[in-house]
Structure 1
Amino acid sequence: MIEGHVQTVDRALDILEVLASSEKSLGVTEIGNRVGLHKSTVHRILQTLCLRGYVEKEKDTEHYHLGIKVVDLGIVYIQKLEIRRVAESYLLSLAKSFDEVVHLVLHDNGEVVFIDHKESSQLIGMHSKEGSRGYMHSTAVGKAILSALPEEEVRYLLKLKGMPRFTQATLTDPDLLIAQLGEIRKTGIAIAAEENDFGVINIGTAIFDYTGRPIGAISVSGPINRMKEKGLERIGLEIKRAGQSISSRLGYNKPASPYA
């Protein structure tokens, strides 16, 4: 056993993760089966979690789901992220310049996690809720991050999460994607045209931390025709400059462009 390991805490976290991954509320027996614990042990832990607001019990069904306290913690975590604070003014500037939806994401084990966005005044656009997750192979933010990772790691992540097809334009062949990542690495600008959503194009660039590792990305997303009218090259260059500025403020001190 790892030094400092507390079994009860470990079990409580297992239960929270099971509830988080379930699309419906769960009963004590079902939770116990999923985490490998006797239902009496699960019941005791659930009572404590309910008292603290991390889990809520449905009176009619005797089932459990995550409580509002979990949401509160997530919001506090996101608000305190340095990258979110640093990126704020750049996201606002991009949104003002192009009047399209701007996203900020973090990389988490082969997925992108949307942690901030700025809306467009346009009625038609692309919207992602904060905390939602997306695939990397079909999004500009994901491809921007992948382009800055070693090929061995890229292949591992693609195998881990898979490469499902969302549209006819979605790349589902790792070799084709890796070839594309080589071009993205040269320019620092990633484009995903109708690869995740029909009629939508997103343009993104990676954000690097002080170690030089890509920790996230930013993008501008909108309907293809509208984005083309505003100039894809112009949008890409503005995003790239914003990404470089954010990376610099996070301590990335290599040459002006992190791309070879």
Structure 2
Amino acid sequence: MLESIDFRSEARQYLQELENTTNKVIHLVVYDQGEVVYIEKLEGNEMLRMHYKVGKREPMHCTSVGKAILAYLPSNVLLNILEQKGMPMHTDKTITNKDDFLQEFIQVRIKGYHWI
């Protein structure tokens, strides 16, 4: 039965509501083997465009959606992902120090989201 559910179609209405409310770029991702995979993207109405494409894989530590997911994983799973995947720099704003990342992780968990 689960195989017959089109997750993107089921989520689209909610993604559109979020896009209409915020006018921001909206991404839908899934967690897969310590990375995020983009499965849907709505552009929003802002001039700033995100260059992530549907199907693209990214490390979790350097994306807002990845940080939001990491914030709700058990601490041992979070630390294991950071150990296995490392924390390579992707932009000049990427946090590459584990202690600094864990401080940000606490704030994401308190707020319930991450925004750049």
Q: TM-score of the superposition, structure 2-length normalised?
A: 0.84
Moved over 6 A (4+): none
Q: Which residue of 2 aligns with 1:175?
A: 99
CA distance in 1 between counterparts of 2:21 and 2:93 reads 28
Q: Structure 2: which amino acid aligns with 1:131?
A: G
Q: Between the two proteins, what is the percent identity of the paired residues?
A: 39
Q: Residue in 1 aligned with 2:54? A: 130
Pick 1 or 2: higher relative contact order, CA cutoff 8 A, min separation 6. Answer: 2
C-alpha distance in structure 2 between counterparts of 1:89 and 1:158, whole Å: 33
Matched, 1:140 2:64: yes
* TM-score relative to the length of structure 1: 0.40
SS of corresponding position for 2:61: coil
Equivalent in the alignment of 1:151: 75
- Once the two structures are superposed, what CA deviation does each residue of 1:60-103 show, in whole Å capped at 9, x if it has no partner? xxxxxxxxxxxxxxxxx8x9443x23321111112222333210
Match of 1:93 among 17, 33, 45: 17
Partner residue of 2:86? 162
Three-state SS of the structure 2 residue aligned to 1:184 is helix
Which of 34, 39, 44 pairs up with 1:120?
44
Q: Deviation at 1:136?
A: 0.8
Q: Which has the larger radius of gyration?
A: 1
Partner of 2:26: 102
Deviation (angstroms), 1:190: 1.4
Number of aligned pairs? Answer: 114
> How far is 1:104 from its partner?
0.2
Q: Which letter maps to 2:73?
A: L
- Give the letter aligned to residue 90 of structure 2: F
**Aligned counterparts of 2:54 and 2:30: Cα–Cα separation in 1:** 11
In structure 2, distance between residues paired with 1:184 and 1:95: 21
- Compare 110-119 and 126-135 and name the one that shifted more: 126-135
Unaligned runs of 5+ in 2: none
What is the Cα-based RMSD across aligned positions, in Å? 2.0
